[in-house]
Amino acid sequence: MAVTTFDTLKFVETLKASGFDEPQAKGMAAAIQEVQNSNMDTLATKADLRELEYRIIIRLGSVMIAGFSALAVLMKLH
């Protein structure tokens, strides 16, 4: 998985240049970094998506087989 880096020093300096005081800028940088780090555990990887795709294909195939079986039984009864 690609890792995105967050340059907190540059972020703080940019905020300070925009009129934020240092405690505000550092607080915002810390909050953004915390959110970014906590979300990394919940992101789906390509392998997760591939597994989900296979599970959907299998489920769809099962539903189609059940439908064709029911249709065959109904046609025999008719």
**Tens of pLDDT along 15-68?**
999 999 999 999 999 998 888 877 667 778 899 999 999 999 999 999 999 999
DSSP state of 42: G
pLDDT at 74: 93
Whether 25 contacts 16, CB under 8 Å: yes
The CA distance from 17 to 30, in Å, is 18
Tokens for 12, please give them. 């703080």
pLDDT of residue 61: 95
pLDDT of 2 strictly over 60? no
- pTM here? 0.47
Give dist(CA 56, CA 77) in Å, integer.
32
Q: How confident is the model at residue 5 (pLDDT cuts 50, 70, 90)?
A: confident
